[in-house]
Amino acid sequence: VQLVESGGGLVQPGGSLRLSCTASGFSNSYYTIAWFRQAPGKEREGIACIDVSDSNTEYADSVNGRFIIPNDNARNTVYHEMNDLKPDETGLYYCEVNFLPCLSLNSEEYDYWGRGTQITVSS
């Protein structure tokens, strides 16, 4: 299983970015992609997930209303639209996959993850 994230970069406070996560190496039609982030010196934080089979989503309270995983994702690629980004949201953003419904944002319940894409929110 391989996951590849892209779309990170430098953005000003209040700005937006769109990340993508492309998954390969498995044939299951039922899986969940989750997004996590890790700031320097902090633990990995789960922020959102989507069950690809039924488009059910879950969001952490800290991003609800600002971050969106659209349900019109391309085959094997999941997007993550992040709006009104804040400086303390700077960090490495990862996508992870498991073969369960989208019920948890606990990284321990995910089986595979990518190498991440860096987001820096700064003026």
| pLDDT tens-digit map of 106-120 | 999 999 999 999 999
Rounded to whole angstroms, how far apart are CA atoms 24 and 114? 11
The percentage of residues in the chain with a pLDDT greater than 70, rounded to a whole number, is 99
The pairing of beta strand 57-59 with beta strand 77-82: unpaired
Q: What would the pLDDT profile of 12-23 be if each residue is shown by its tens digit?
A: 999 999 999 999
Rounded to whole angstroms, how far apart are CA atoms 32 and 87? 28
Confidence of residue 29 (pLDDT cuts 50, 70, 90): confident
Which element (helix H / strand E) includes 95? Answer: strand 91-98
The pairing of beta strand 45-51 with beta strand 57-59: antiparallel
Confidence of residue 60 (pLDDT cuts 50, 70, 90): very high
Mean pLDDT (the chain) is 94
Residue 49 has phi, psi (to 5 degrees) of: -150, 160
Confidence of residue 28 (pLDDT cuts 50, 70, 90): confident
